[in-house]
Structure formats: C-alpha cells, structure tokens
Chain A
Amino acid sequence: MISLVPVSAQITGAVDSYGTDDSRRTVRERVTPIPGDALPSHYSLLVSGPPGVGKFEFLLDLARTWIGAGERVVFVTLDLSPAEVRDRGLALGLQISEAERNQFVFVDGYSANGPAPTESRGDRRAYTVSSYANLEGIAMTLQKAAAEVGPPARILFYTLSTLFLHNSPPAIAKFLQIITSRVKTSLGFIAYAVHEGVHEPTTMSLLRSLTDGVVELRFTPDMERELRVHHLRGRWVDPGWRPFQWEATAPLIGGA
C-alpha cells in the first residue's frame, strides 16, 4: 500500500459544487480538494492556463485524490523527467515512488530526448517514448501503460504544448482525437495540460472542442491564482472564477 503525507498540499478550488445552488457560502466553506472522484471515469479534460499558474500542481492533486481512492494513474510527462515529477510531487506531499509499486506508472517522453540516459526501469515501471515527434509511439506506449496498470486508469498528460514544437497542429489534433476516443472507450479518463498564450486562438478552440471538459487557470492582476470549470459535458457546473492555491511542504525547486 502507499502512504501519503497528511493532506497539507491540497489545492483548493470550487469544482465540488455540482448540483448545489448555494453560491453564497464563503469560499473557505465550499472549498474541498479538487474532487477527482467527481470526474467520470471515461472522460476527457483539458486543463489550460498560462505557464506557471499551477497546471502541474492541479494534475498532481488529481493524482493524489485518485491514488488515495485506490485508482490507477498513468502520468505522461514530456516536459519534466520522472525524477523531477517525483521530487515536485514530494514537495507537494505526494509520494509518487510509493505509488509506483502498483498504482502509478510514468510514460516518459522526456528522457530519451536529452543526453541523460533513460532511467533504468529497476523495480519501477516506466515506459519510454523515443521522441516528441513520435506521436504514434506516445499513443502506443500510453495504451500499453494503461493496460498494464489496469483500466479504468486515470491518465495525466503534461503537456500537450510541447508536442506543438515538434509536430504540425493538424497532426496533433488528429492524435488528440484518436487518443481521446480510444482512452474513453477502453482505458478510462485523460486530462491534458496545455499552456495558454503560446498557441493560436483557433488551435486552442480546436483543442477545447476535442475534450469533454475544460478547466481554466489564470492569474489575477495581483498575481493571485484563480480557477474555473468552464464546462464539463453532461454535468452542471458553476462556472465562476474561484481563488485557488496550494501549500507546499518543501521548496518546489532545489529539493528540501
């Protein structure tokens, strides 16, 4: 079994309020961790926001909820090495390496692209992808990883934006469409993180149209962070912006 550091790094938000109409409660009252369990098991989600706003933390908080509930998580990382994800997870109070025993698996699209050797699998299960440009390889590997941990799985994809540096938007859109439908039919849930402000508006609309739900994150003029659930297909959501924050138990950069 996994053990989790006590809930200290919970992200607070407002995705808990499906079906409730009492919007006058204070933010603190209505705040619960992002309810990963409220997200359907065969579903797709786009998480958008400017770089640095906390998409990664949002995804890790979902992972924490699911791991705690005994669900299986596949983390596709294109932007960070698995080691960095583990470190940053630890700083947020999530012990990924514990969960890697039976509930969590990386699809590593990062390591093969750098000069650093791909981490050896050892007792940890890690699937590597040879290149960002190898969309097909990413899709195949993701599928194998999800089949290995056992569907329904929760797949987190960080980030879609990186693919745009290496592939054309139409190819990515088709990739996204195929993967999403495949995941939803037989593998489970997928959330894609995408950077806001670096893609054409039409590209962003296309990506939003290809997923069931959209969660947006933003900075206020005072550099506070806010989150809203723009829509979740088939669900009622309160689309208002809500303050959103997380607490770290250790510095996010440079280790504890």
Chain B
Amino acid sequence: MLTTEPPKPTRLNTGIRILDERLGGGFERPCALLLFSRTPAEKRLFAEQFVMTGLRAGEPCLYVDFFRAPQLILRELGKFGTVEESRLRLVDATSAQLLIESDQRHVIRDLTDLDGITRTIRTAIEETRPARVVIDSMEFLADRFDRDALFRAWREIGEAARAVGAAVAFLFINWTYGDADVARVVEMSDYVVEFQTRVRTGVVRNYLRIAAQRPGGLSTAWIPYTFKDVSGLTVYFPRILVIGPPNAGKTTVVRALCGNSVSVDTMGTTVAFDYGNLDLSGLEAEVIGTPGQERFEFMFGIFAREVSGILLVLDATRPEELERAKSLLQLVGAESSVVVLANKSDLPGRLDEAAIRAGLGLAADVPVIPSVATTGQGTKEAVLALAQRVMGV
C-alpha cells in the first residue's frame, strides 16, 4: 500500500539518458505531456518507457488503457524488463469491451459515458497519487465523443493529475481534428513530444522532438531513436561519418569511440572504410570512417545517404592540409551537422582554434575540439557535441 510517500523528485526523466541530460533531468513536475503524431508512430513505446522508468525509481504509476486488457499491458511492459507490479495501477477500460470480468480496482464499464470515464480516471489518480500517469489514448475518446465535452474531460484529467503533483502523458494521434482543435490540445500541454515514422528503402526510422510550451522553453530538432528489448529506447544515429585528410587519425578516432570497430586497410592506411558501433550515454550510432585519399572520393556519394552527422578529423600539426579538409567539407554538403576534431593536439607546433576556423572557413557555431585519438581524449566530447547539434539542444 502507498502509505508514505518518498520525497518527490522535481524532474521526471524519460529513461533516455542523453535526452534527460539535455532536459536538465527530465520533465518538470507537475506537467501535462502530449505524446502526439499526425501519422501512425511509436508513441506507446515512449509512454511505456516513461512508466517503467518511474517504476524502477520507486514511483507509483498509473496506466489508463482503452486498447489492452491488464494481462496484455503487463506482458507488453515486460519487454522493458521486470515490471514492479506493486507500484503500478491500471485503469481497465478493456475488459468490459471484451465482456470479461476484471480483477482491477479501477474499471471503466460504460464506454458511452464520458462523465463516468472521467470520474473513474480522476478517482484512480486521487487514490493512487501517482508520479506518472499515461492515458492511452485520447484518440479513442476523440473518436467517440463530442469535441467540446472531450476537451472538458481532457482538462479535468490534467487538473486532477496536477493536483497530486503528477506528470500526465496523453497519447494522441490526430485522425479527427483540424488545426485549430490541435492548437487547443497543444495549449493544454506543458510539453509536446511529437513522433514521426519515416520509411526509406524498407527501413522504418523513428523520430521524436520535444517542445516545452512555456515561452523560451526548450525545443529539440527531430531526434532519431530506436528500440531494443530490455534496454528500451535510445537515441540512434544511423550514420556518423568520419572524414578528413589522409593520416589525420580517422581510423584511430573510430577505434577510440567504438569497442567493436573493423577496418579495411592496407599498409596502415584505410582504403575502404572503418566501421564501428558506438554506445555512449543513451546514444547509439553507427560510425563510418572514410578513406582520406582523393581517389576514394566516389565513396562519399554512397555513404552520404542518411548521414546523421560528420566528424571532421584533421592533423592539427599540418596546416598545409586545411585546404584539403575544407574541400572535403564542401564535398559532404553544408546541410550536415559537423564537429571538427583538431587531432594530435598533444604534439608541438599545433594550430590554434582560430587558425583552424580561418583555414576551414567555419561558421562560428561549429565546435572545434582538440583531441588525442590515440588516448581517446576529446573523441567522446566531440560525439556529444555532435549529438547536441543534431538534437538541437
């Protein structure tokens, strides 16, 4: 039973580490989250991870589900790991639809009665006093009830959650409303987490972006993410390209970043490419090192598809190569996010940052990070700086 409440954290994290860091620890509490998409996308995984993260931290959580019976919810949450069932409360809106008995305390029996539905959810929130609430989903209700009545119910649930200091996440795909109504929905939210799925050559890629609705609040770019059983959601960059003049240390950078890298090389210089998987603080990426020699430039066209970001590695002791590095940057295109690694920065005679900037003609906001790839120094910082540029926060 939930008799004593532990001190409440002021932020509620998403469980995606790199994202939580950018959010300053998570969503401010209390708050209303809108998990929104215009086309079908994986909102539920995010909601489930949000709940599982809370349960692991010892927080009571409430899940209101109009689509899944309690057994099914528990089974599906199991893909994130062991479910702390003692802290999880469910509002069962499904058993009645399936004409089966419910063993839950909070049950919605009449799906034609919006007031009754709202009352049941409110009661569950007041009795459970959860830290996190998920309503899965609002489009189920939008499909069935008058718009204004639904907006009243929406507000009421939001207020009930706020009163107990909870973060409430409303899942909502908009099949039904026009832009003005969507704007009203957004207005009721403190954060909008928007989801998008893109299918390219048969590969499904998921993206999300977060926007705080208060003036001056943070707002991210479209962040690519992926899901794996147990480890859950992680930010995922399908391709980080490592470019630079010959012998700048690109392969060493890939090796420093990735535990499992492989190289195709001859006589110590890369002639095909280096490849490795990176797993860093909730960020996963595939890192591809390109050869520096000009005769391999044709490969850029092949790798340039679906590039998440670029690490430009240069030998900071060799000013004569800045010109070559600059032309490589032009080759990969201006629209990619770039971070420059001034490598071999432990050696004498290295260029300073200003000289590198001038030599490459860099925009002021492109980070230049001194690195020593042989020891790994500076390489992680460069990836995190790149992540920041891609994520927009």
**A interface residues with partner B (beta carbon < 8 Å):** 112-115, 130-131, 133-137, 139-140, 143-144, 147, 150-151, 167-168, 170-171, 174-175, 178-179, 182, 185-187
22 residue pairs of the A-B complex, CB under 8 angstroms, read A130-B68, A130-B76, A131-B66, A133-B67, A136-B43, A137-B44, A137-B67, A139-B39, A140-B40, A140-B197, A143-B204, A144-B204, A147-B203, A147-B204, A170-B176, A178-B39, A178-B40, A179-B40, A182-B39, A186-B199, A186-B200, A187-B199
Q: How far is the CB of B67 from chain A (nearest CB, A)?
A: 4
Chain A contact residues, majority secondary structure: helix
Asked whether any CB of chain A lies closer than 8 Å to the CB of B144, the reply is: yes
**A133 neighbours in B (Cβ, 8 Å):** 66-67, 140, 143
Cβ < 8 Å to A, chain B residues 137-159: 137, 139-140, 143-144
Given A135-B175, A175-B175, A147 and B199 contact (CB-CB distance below 8 Å): yes
Q: How far is the CB of A199 from chain B (nearest CB, A)?
A: 17
**A113 neighbours in B (Cβ, 8 Å):** 98
**B199 neighbours in A (Cβ, 8 Å):** 143, 147, 182, 185-187
**A143 neighbours in B (Cβ, 8 Å):** 40, 197, 199, 204
Given A112-B72, A139-B40, A171-B176, A134 and B67 contact (CB-CB distance below 8 Å): yes
Would you give the 0/1 interface string for B66-88, flagging 1 where the beta carbon is closer than 8 Å to chain A?
11100010001000000000000
Q: How far is the CB of A108 from chain B (nearest CB, A)?
A: 13
For A136, give its contact among B40, B98, B202 (CB under 8 Å).
B40
- Residue pair A174, B175 in contact (C-beta under 8 Å): yes
Q: How far is the CB of B306 from chain A (nearest CB, A)?
A: 14
- Residue pair B202, A130 in contact (C-beta under 8 Å): no
**B197 neighbours in A (Cβ, 8 Å):** 140, 143
Cβ < 8 Å to A, chain B residues 173-188: 173, 175-176
Asked whether any CB of chain A lies closer than 8 Å to the CB of B100, the reply is: yes
**A134 neighbours in B (Cβ, 8 Å):** 67
Q: Which residue of B lies closest to A141 (CB)?
A: B40
**A179 neighbours in B (Cβ, 8 Å):** 40
**B175 neighbours in A (Cβ, 8 Å):** 135, 170-171, 174-175
Q: How far is the CB of B75 from chain A (nearest CB, A)?
A: 9
For A135, A151, A185, the residue with the greatest tally of chain B CB atoms inside 10 Å of its CB is: A135
- Residue pair A168, B144 in contact (C-beta under 8 Å): yes
**B94 neighbours in A (Cβ, 8 Å):** 131
**B176 neighbours in A (Cβ, 8 Å):** 168, 170-171, 174
A143–B12 Cα distance when bound, in Å, is 31
A201–B144 Cα distance when bound, in Å, is 21
A175–B175 Cα distance when bound, in Å, is 7
**B interface residues with partner A (beta carbon < 8 Å):** 37, 39-44, 66-68, 72, 76, 94, 97-98, 100, 137, 139-140, 143-144, 173, 175-176, 197, 199-204
For A167, give its contact among B43, B97, B143 (CB under 8 Å).
B143
**B200 neighbours in A (Cβ, 8 Å):** 186
Q: Which residue of A lies closest to B99 (CB)?
A: A115
A179–B199 Cα distance when bound, in Å, is 12
**A186 neighbours in B (Cβ, 8 Å):** 199-202
Q: Which residue of B lies closest to A139 (CB)?
A: B40
**B98 neighbours in A (Cβ, 8 Å):** 113-115
A136–B175 Cα distance when bound, in Å, is 9
A134–B67 Cα distance when bound, in Å, is 6
**A144 neighbours in B (Cβ, 8 Å):** 204
**A170 neighbours in B (Cβ, 8 Å):** 175-176
- Residue pair A131, B40 in contact (C-beta under 8 Å): no
Given A112-B72, A136-B139, A147 and B67 contact (CB-CB distance below 8 Å): no
A223–B7 Cα distance when bound, in Å, is 73
For A130, A136, A178, A186, the residue with the greatest tally of chain B CB atoms inside 10 Å of its CB is: A136
Q: Which residue of B lies closest to A149 (CB)?
A: B202
Contacts A135-B139, A171-B139, A182-B199 aside, 15 further interface pairs with beta carbons under 8 A come to A131-B94, A133-B67, A133-B140, A136-B37, A136-B139, A139-B40, A140-B40, A140-B42, A143-B40, A147-B199, A150-B202, A175-B175, A179-B40, A182-B39, A186-B199
- Residue pair B39, A171 in contact (C-beta under 8 Å): no
A170–B143 Cα distance when bound, in Å, is 8
A168–B176 Cα distance when bound, in Å, is 9
- Residue pair A130, B204 in contact (C-beta under 8 Å): no
Q: How far is the CB of A232 from chain B (nearest CB, A)?
A: 25
**A168 neighbours in B (Cβ, 8 Å):** 143-144, 176
**B143 neighbours in A (Cβ, 8 Å):** 133, 167-168, 171
For B40, B41, B72, the residue with the greatest tally of chain A CB atoms inside 10 Å of its CB is: B40
Q: Which residue of B lies closest to A172 (CB)?
A: B175
A135–B171 Cα distance when bound, in Å, is 13
A112–B140 Cα distance when bound, in Å, is 17
A97–B43 Cα distance when bound, in Å, is 32
A164–B40 Cα distance when bound, in Å, is 18
**A115 neighbours in B (Cβ, 8 Å):** 98, 100
5 closest Cβ pairs, A-B complex: A139-B40, A186-B199, A131-B67, A171-B175, A134-B67
A127–B143 Cα distance when bound, in Å, is 25
For A168, A171, A175, A185, the residue with the greatest tally of chain B CB atoms inside 10 Å of its CB is: A171
**A112 neighbours in B (Cβ, 8 Å):** 68, 72
**B37 neighbours in A (Cβ, 8 Å):** 136
**A167 neighbours in B (Cβ, 8 Å):** 143
Q: Which residue of B lies closest to A118 (CB)?
A: B72
**B100 neighbours in A (Cβ, 8 Å):** 115
**B68 neighbours in A (Cβ, 8 Å):** 112, 130-131
For A134, A167, A175, A185, the residue with the greatest tally of chain B CB atoms inside 10 Å of its CB is: A134
**B144 neighbours in A (Cβ, 8 Å):** 168
